[in-house]
Copies of this chain bind each other. A is one copy, B any other.
């Protein structure tokens, strides 16, 4: 399929336009390249976008992270970029619909019931028409499933299902259909190798009030799974079924019209890690910090002549040696110089830039270990940084510390904390066009809900003790450099109070050559020194003598 042939079909069927989303039937951001219809149609490779093709034009809606990248990757004669930071799709459609009584096509596997409801409410006179024979966009590649042992998950699948049956009974339902692959994977303690970075078992699960479980999956070696085409007849066996309308494709409501909107409570439950998971994550972060620190030591001496992909491969080789390593947790962003200003840059082997002296190198990477998931960004000065780089990096560090050292009441949303990180930059009229933090799973999604730290995610769920979140302010100077400092933290109860605080998990030095001490307050200096003392004392036993010498300098008190 290409844009022109879609436009031809739109004309033939008297359709104003068609909505294309980026995901597959699991409505999650982690997908295979061959499943990504927006990539296929436009060349845009970012992790979030919406494409609206009209008879004459194609409009690609992207957020702040992807504005530069979308420009670079798409053919501007065919595709017009619309910035979601300026207008949401609904408002844009209101302005561009012309007559209200239009016909718009959508794929009912790829849009949630909730999204469709909202569109129908916002455009009551517009007809939204499901595409005939809708494609689930599921890769034919066969996935191997495997179980996630209790020593990592802390709870058996039976424990988890028993808890869920209480929820089902409480909601007075016969069953719930769980359509989020992350929720299903957590509930069943199952994982698979379907995706390169996220070990999810991509399945739906129908759980009854008695705890019986029917799995729907295709292209896996799961023996007792039914194909998705068995959904209508299976659902029909139960008088009352709930599903989360935000995570359930619109087509399910066609299969089972009396479906009840029942929030997927696993989303919150799995975000609050149990003791086993927290201990596992802590351990995984120590090993990951050791690997990253060894790499940074290697990089300092060996960057000359290396490309972005060379050093990403080298980092992976360090991580692969660690216990419980499974895979990277996303495609490493190894960005040299001006590439760092592309927030979600990804170097291809052919086009990878060479690391250069007197530039900044931004490295955002992470790994899946059986006991935990990591995600860390460090910005490193190769050679001598300019005063501008040092000033901006110091402001980003201030931003990071301001949030990382905060305490806050229970029931506080991430959107109510974001300003703490953003303000040190805003005061200089600087900003970053992305959120400040996201939840992180445990041997699962590196981006996990329901909490988020973002001024624009105004209604995201409050942060809760036991969750893991990133803190990652940045600064990006187009065509010059990018800076981001990212650690993961667990949310914990502060002692002797009803407050919550952040406890650091990520352990790796923050480049001291990029810090102007005179821009930091004594409290900020104390935070950094105490962080570096912890990095050094925890990681020293994993270092060779040469690495330890380097680490001691990298963690020296300011």
Contacts and interface: CB of A to CB of B under 8 A. Distances in A.
Contacts of A426: 406-409, 499
A427 interface: yes
Given A412-B455, A413-B458, A521-B521, A407 B420 contact: no
Interface string A154-178: 0000000000000000000000000
A412 B419 contact: yes
Contact of A419 (B420, B429, B459): B420
A409 to B, nearest CB: 7
Give the contact-size bracket for chain A.
20 to 34
Each complex incorporates copies of this chain amounting to 2
Contacts of A521: 521
Interface in A402-449: 406-409, 412-413, 415-420, 422-423, 426-427, 429, 431
Interface in A460-494: 494
A282 to B, nearest CB: 25
Nearest to A497: B429
A223 interface: no
Contact of A423 (B415, B420, B459, B494): B420
B429 A499 contact: yes
A494 B426 CA distance: 11
Interface in A62-103: none
A426 B422 CA distance: 19
A406 B421 CA distance: 12
A351 interface: no
A349 interface: no
Given A412-B455, A499-B429, A406 B420 contact: no
A541 interface: no
Contacts of A496: 429
Contact of A407 (B406, B413, B427, B494): B427
A427 B375 CA distance: 28
A499 B430 CA distance: 10
A521 B521 CA distance: 8
Shortest Cβ-Cβ A-B pairs, 3 listed: A429-B497, A407-B426, A416-B416
